Chains A and B, each alone.
Chain A
Amino acid sequence: MKWLRGGGIWGFIVRRVLLGILVMFLVSIIVFAGTQALGDPARAILGRDATPDRLAALQKQLNLDQNVVGQYFQWLGGLLHGDLGTSLASQQPVSTALGPRLVSSIVLVVIAAVISIPLSIAIGSYAALHREKKFDTIVSNTMLALASLPEFVVALLLVILFSTSVFHWLPAISPVPPGHRAWEYPDELILPVVTLAFAVTPYVSRIMRASMIEVLESDYVEMARLKGLSERTVLYRHALPNAIGPVFQVAAISLAYLAGGIVVIEYVFNYPGIGSELVDAVQNHDIPVVQALAILIAGLYVLLNLLADVATILVTPRLRTRL
């Protein structure tokens, strides 16, 4: 869209945020259309128990007695005010139940990110420094295998290895009791966090390795070496800061991917986050909760992608000048 170019870095950020808002608006239309406007959710929820008065009562609760556009704007207005509707299963506001679960999920993803991203940077750099040596070959093959495994398979293999069959070191499930915080049970967090870390590390370390190799072969690193700087200084002062740029983008995209990945991982470990909540809501046909979670997870995805784009522009001078 050429009429939207210009404005330097701030122009870019403003455009990117506006685009994000547009995407979220369209996402909300799709979620609403998919869950409420098509078909008859009241009938889908009640199933065989659909007596006429119960149907009418539920249709009123879901605002199905109004026209579709009215329903949508009422729902959207509620969303923007933080009112996510009422859960059909618990008859409580969706936001009350969702708050603690969102915190639990964020705890999981943040710990996984804090562990896996520095680890990936270290692994990728080390592999790049010792290219085609034993470490590099082993790591690249392991990462390739890990990257292809579905998360729930990784999770179950970890459970088999560390809790049920081989060793009996860690709990197989992580059912944090209601009213408690996830971090009060660190042993229960280990396996879910490791699973998430396994999902992110292959991608980030691979990009770090490629980026590091490119930087190490560049003229300015050669120059720094010729100046007689120690290999250590060359690495930490010159190579690493320049190689790390692409990692932001991949790390953010991997985290965005985890927004979907937590769905199955939390279910495997019976961990009370938004992912297992989505599975429950889907199984109970709890439409307001499904709608809220779909918006929330899509929102996380859009936000992290936005941050990835902005961060990439900020750390890559070459791209910044092109704006």
Chain B
Amino acid sequence: MRDREVELSRDTAIALETEGIDVPVVPGRSSNLLRRSLRLGRTKVGLALVGFLVLIAVLGPLVAPHAPDAFVARPFSAPGTGGAVLGTDYLGQDVLSRFLHGGLNILVLAIISTAIGLVLGLAIGLAAAYSRNWLDDVLMRAMDVIMAFPQIMLALVAVSLVGPKNWVTITAIALTTAPRVARVARGAAQPVVERDFIGATEAMGMSRFRIIGGELFPNILGPMMVEASLRLTYSIAVIAALAFLGLANDPNGPNWGTMIQQNQGALATQPWGALLPILAIALLTMGTGLIGDGIARTAAGIDRERGDE
């Protein structure tokens, strides 16, 4: 394994140096990773896409011309009928208003469940890598067991047994996100744990919690940021798919996934009801994907768009 550059907190670096231990300091390497990744065109495009859709999801409900559950014209009316700019859906509700109301639920659920999954997975992965003993094996085999369940399947089964509640969706996504994150965190942390300075900090009597949180974590920030955007992309996909399967929290509420399912039958005659949310989900996941790729390229040292790999 090639030695990776590591980064130490100031206090630890000074303490180690006074003990006469060589300190591999590379100041501020990962802290400005996000900023450096913005030099890449793809990160900018990704950020613009995500920003645009987040804006629609958050501000949409405030500017929607109709209530999401108001009947404004006959079902599947053409655009322009009864004040419905983009026509009506399968019940005669305004497509545009439902679209503007329909992003928030998916976005909030995806962010919360991904965040919980990341924290959980990070904790497990770091604990496994740091322990270097039986705990490592036990934790990672347990992760293998959970990973045998595809995300969408576990979420489906959980929702079918407990009911389509928001907390069930969040728990299912967080639980299936964690092992995948743990695997990456452990993989990234392992070469760092092997380095001398970890042993030295232990010898200095620094608490495990501080070593893991203060020294180990900053060194795997790069891969974790890539993983975070990847996991967010998948969470959005699974949560939208659940709604598409008719298992959203509110089966009649405005929700991009639900809208697709309700209106896909009329794709040939009144496409907007399904097309608009399909495009929104596509652009949102593409945006998070592009951001992730931008960070990954920056972390791998491919700063320029057409750089040498």
Residue from the set B147, B157, B162, B240 with the largest chain A CB neighbour count within 10 Å: B157
> For chain A residues 76-131, which have a beta carbon within 8 Å of chain B?
none
Q: Are B161 and A156 in contact (CB under 8 A)?
A: no
Asked if B285 is at the interface of the complex by the 8 Å CB criterion, the answer is yes
- Nearest to A22 among chain B residues (CB) is B141
Contacts of B278 in A (CB 8 A): 153, 156-157, 160
Residue from the set A27, A156, A278, A285 with the largest chain B CB neighbour count within 10 Å: A156
State in angstroms the CA–CA spacing of A179 and B159 once bound together: 32
- Nearest to B148 among chain A residues (CB) is A298
- Of A51-59, A187-195, A257-265, A312-320, the one contacting chain B is A257-265
The answer, among A148, A172, A282, A283, for a CB contact under 8 Å with B288, is: A148
Contacts of B233 in A (CB 8 A): 148
Asked if B89 is at the interface of the complex by the 8 Å CB criterion, the answer is no
> A residues within 8 Å of B by Cβ?
1, 19, 22-24, 26-27, 30, 34-35, 38-39, 41, 44, 132, 137, 141, 144-145, 147-153, 156-157, 159-160, 164-165, 172, 213, 257, 259-261, 263-264, 267, 278-279, 281-283, 285, 290, 293-294, 297-298, 301-302
State in angstroms the CA–CA spacing of A279 and B152 once bound together: 11
Asked if B293 is at the interface of the complex by the 8 Å CB criterion, the answer is yes
Q: Are B286 and A145 in contact (CB under 8 A)?
A: yes
Q: Say how far B282's CB is from chain A's closest CB, in angstroms.
A: 5
Q: Are B245 and A279 in contact (CB under 8 A)?
A: yes
The answer, among A41, A149, A157, A279, for a CB contact under 8 Å with B156, is: A279
Shortest beta-carbon contacts, A-B, top 9:
A260-B150, A148-B289, A150-B237, A282-B160, A164-B267, A298-B148, A164-B268, A26-B145, A148-B285
- Nearest to B275 among chain A residues (CB) is A160
Contacts of B286 in A (CB 8 A): 145, 148-149
The answer, among A19, A44, A297, for a CB contact under 8 Å with B153, is: A297
Q: Are A23 and B156 in contact (CB under 8 A)?
A: no
Known: A23-B145, A148-B233, A278-B153; 16 extra A-B contacts, CB below 8 A, are: A22-B141, A27-B149, A34-B157, A44-B161, A145-B290, A150-B237, A150-B241, A156-B264, A159-B264, A164-B271, A165-B267, A165-B268, A260-B150, A282-B160, A285-B160, A301-B147
Q: Are A149 and B159 in contact (CB under 8 A)?
A: no
Q: Are B282 and A264 in contact (CB under 8 A)?
A: no
Q: Are A290 and B160 in contact (CB under 8 A)?
A: yes
The answer, among B246, B271, B281, for a CB contact under 8 Å with A165, is: B271
Q: Are B150 and A257 in contact (CB under 8 A)?
A: yes
Q: Say how far A75's CB is from chain B's closest CB, in angstroms.
A: 16
The answer, among A35, A149, A290, A298, for a CB contact under 8 Å with B149, is: A298
Q: Say how far B160's CB is from chain A's closest CB, in angstroms.
A: 4
State in angstroms the CA–CA spacing of A169 and B178 once bound together: 43
Given A30-B145, A145-B286, A290-B160: A153 and B281 interface contact (C-beta under 8 Å): yes
Q: Say how far B305's CB is from chain A's closest CB, in angstroms.
A: 9
- Decide if the interface of chain B is mainly helix, strand, loop or mixed: helix
State in angstroms the CA–CA spacing of A157 and B283 once bound together: 12
Q: Annotate B201-236 by CB proximity to A: 1 below 8 A, 0 otherwise.
A: 000000000000000000000000000000001001
Given A149-B285, A156-B278, A160-B267: A264 and B148 interface contact (C-beta under 8 Å): no
Q: Are A23 and B161 in contact (CB under 8 A)?
A: no
State in angstroms the CA–CA spacing of A41 and B160 once bound together: 11
Given A23-B141, A23-B144: A152 and B244 interface contact (C-beta under 8 Å): yes
> For chain B residues 132-160, which have a beta carbon within 8 Å of chain A?
137, 141, 144-145, 147-153, 156-160
Contacts of B57 in A (CB 8 A): none
Contacts of A165 in B (CB 8 A): 267-268, 271
Asked if B306 is at the interface of the complex by the 8 Å CB criterion, the answer is yes
State in angstroms the CA–CA spacing of A190 and B279 once bound together: 23
Given A23-B141, A153-B282, A159-B267: A290 and B240 interface contact (C-beta under 8 Å): no
Write 5 A-B pairs (CB below 8 A) sorted by A numbering: A149-B282, A159-B264, A165-B267, A263-B153, A283-B160
Q: Are A148 and B157 in contact (CB under 8 A)?
A: no
Q: Are A152 and B150 in contact (CB under 8 A)?
A: no
Q: Say how far A82's CB is from chain B's closest CB, in angstroms.
A: 20
Q: Are A132 and B306 in contact (CB under 8 A)?
A: yes
Given A39-B161, A153-B281: A260 and B289 interface contact (C-beta under 8 Å): no
Contacts of A141 in B (CB 8 A): 42
Contacts of A157 in B (CB 8 A): 278, 282
